[in-house]
């Protein structure tokens, strides 16, 4: 018999899937009294919550609050973020402040701008493969997809590409969990990323924000309640871009290639037309292999989800991999990998007014990484007994996934 679901328990962090399966079937809107929090396990309930865009659900307690924060119940009182200096992370704001901050920097992440990165991403993928394939053995997550993802972030932020490994390693370290997952976080694990970006912002302010560096310039020129943001506030806002863009795609690509390797007939089908099929296969990889486990919202006004009453101040987490495996949405084989599955709706990138800003970049980058790997590598074998998952209540993905490939003699 499974223990009670707790996102911070070692059992859940080791393997959450049996817990999700149980919740979907028996307790889809699970109340966790220790945290005064609901966990949504079914697709329709998650989508219903995310579709409410009037500020009823806003992560005023953070999108990933630690156990110490959650144990302090709000008891019907919501502490709204203010725009006074310094502002908190922009995700904690509801409309209209959240949208103002989002629109000020999202330009380079829109579909048209992202398409212009395709050649750069492909070039980076092939440079990595040129280096890695002669070795005969390398890590899919860290050495291949991870370095490319880090290089793309360096390109976006105008950093030397040699900083890609630093970016990747620092972001990866930030999502790990302490030996005691119940202990509150005493430091900002992602502070080095914010400090890195703050230096970029400081330099750009001196140069003059003329619109030529839109990722940064939009925030430098933004006026929020009559004042300009300082460098630290801008860096904190942009940290979400670098963090989200560095960690998730590599784990999806590595895990997804492993799923294909386990299914030779599907692998052959994808290889039959890589430019057309790699983007389709990557969507299924995102659905089934996405490592992000949950995000939190705080109830701002009394409401209901799935007929369940929720009161002001209570928290709600939506369990992304559980919703992504919901048989009611994806059919009886929802827990299986099927490369050409028709995906009409998904919540892997959230939904509504907090929809992932990196959506277009993630899909393009992942599809290219899959396409180029399969184009260049006719045979590969994942070393399953050496695959590593490190404990994290946020990311349940393969931190290391070694692969061997034939080496030409």
Q: Where are the domains of the chain?
A: 10-404
Tokens representing 285? 């990889």
Strand 137-139 versus strand 29-32 pairing type: unpaired
Burial tier of 112 (Cβ tally within 10 Å: 0-12, 13-18, 19+): exposed
Helix ranges (H only) for 208-273 are 214-220, 231-261, 264-271
Helical spans, DSSP H, in 290-337: 320-324, 327-330
Residue pair 251/141 in contact by the 8 Å Cβ criterion: yes
Name the superfamily (CATH) of residues 10-404. Answer: Cytochrome P450 (1.10.630.10)
**How many CB atoms neighbour CB 193 within 10 A?**
25
- In terms of C-beta density within 10 A (0-12 exposed, 13-18 middle, 19 or more buried), how is residue 201 classed? buried
pLDDT by position in tens, the chain (length 409): 788 999 999 999 999 999 999 999 999 999 999 999 999 999 999 999 999 999 999 999 999 999 999 999 999 999 889 999 999 988 899 889 999 999 999 999 999 999 999 999 999 999 999 999 999 999 999 999 999 999 999 999 999 999 999 999 999 888 877 545 454 444 467 899 999 999 999 999 999 999 999 999 999 999 999 999 999 999 999 999 999 999 899 999 999 999 999 999 999 999 999 999 999 999 999 999 999 999 999 999 999 999 999 999 999 999 999 999 999 999 999 999 999 999 999 999 998 888 999 999 999 999 999 999 999 999 999 999 999 998 888 889 999 999 999 997 6
Cis geometry, peptide bond prior to residue 328 (ω within 30 degrees of 0): no
How far CA 79 is from CA of 58, 82, 87, 313, in Å, comes to 11, 9, 13, 9
Distance (Å, rounded) from C-alpha 100 to C-alpha 185?
A: 29
For residue 249, report the phi and psi dihedrals to the nearest 5 degrees. Answer: -55, -45
């Amino acid at each position: 018999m499974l223990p009670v679901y707790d996102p911070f328990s070692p059992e859940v962090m080791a393997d959450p899937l049996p817990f999700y399966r149980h919740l979907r079937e028996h307790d889809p809107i699970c109340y966790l009294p220790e945290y005064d929090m609901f966990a949504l396990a079914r697709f329709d309930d998650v989508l219903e919550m995310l579709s409410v865009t009037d500020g009823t659900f806003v992560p005023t307690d953070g999108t990933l609050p630690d156990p110490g924060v959650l144990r302090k119940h709000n008891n019907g009182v919501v502490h709204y973020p203010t725009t006074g200096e310094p502002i908190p992370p922009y995700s904690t704001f509801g409309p209209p402040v959240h949208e103002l901050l989002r629109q000020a920097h999202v330009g380079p992440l829109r579909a048209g701008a992202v398409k212009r990165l395709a050649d750069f991403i492909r070039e980076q993928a092939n440079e990595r493969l040129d280096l890695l394939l002669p070795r005969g053995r390398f890590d899919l997550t860290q050495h291949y997809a991870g370095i490319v993802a880090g290089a793309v972030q360096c390109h976006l932020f105008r950093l030397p590409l040699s900083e890609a490994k630093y970016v990747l390693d620092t972001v990866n370290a930030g999502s790990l969990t302490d030996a005691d997952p119940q202990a509150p976080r005493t430091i900002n694990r992602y502070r080095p990323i914010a400090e890195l970006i703050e230096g970029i912002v400081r330099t750009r302010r001196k140069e003059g924000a003329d619109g030529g560096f839109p990722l940064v310039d939009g925030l430098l020129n933004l006026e929020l309640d009559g004042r300009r943001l300082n460098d630290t506030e801008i860096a904190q806002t942009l940290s979400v871009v670098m963090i989200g863009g560095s960690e998730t795609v590599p784990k999806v690509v590595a895990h997804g290639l492993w799923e294909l390797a386990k299914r030779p007939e599907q692998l052959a089908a994808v290889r039959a037309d890589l430019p057309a099929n790699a983007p389709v296969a990557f969507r299924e990889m995102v659905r089934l292999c996405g490592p992000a486990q949950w995000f939190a919202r705080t109830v701002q006004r009394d409401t209901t989800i799935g007929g369940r009453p929720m009161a002001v101040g209570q928290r709600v987490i939506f369990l992304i991999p559980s919703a992504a495996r919901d048989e009611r949405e994806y059919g009886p084989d929802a827990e299986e990998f099927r490369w050409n599955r028709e995906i009409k709706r998904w919540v892997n990138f959230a939904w509504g007014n907090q929809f992932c800003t990196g959506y277009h970049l993630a899909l393009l980058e992942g599809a290219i990484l899959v396409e180029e790997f399969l184009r260049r590598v006719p045979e590969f074998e994942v070393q399953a007994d050496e695959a590593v998952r490190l404990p994290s209540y946020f990311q349940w993905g393969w931190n290391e996934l070694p692969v061997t490939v034939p080496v030409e003699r």
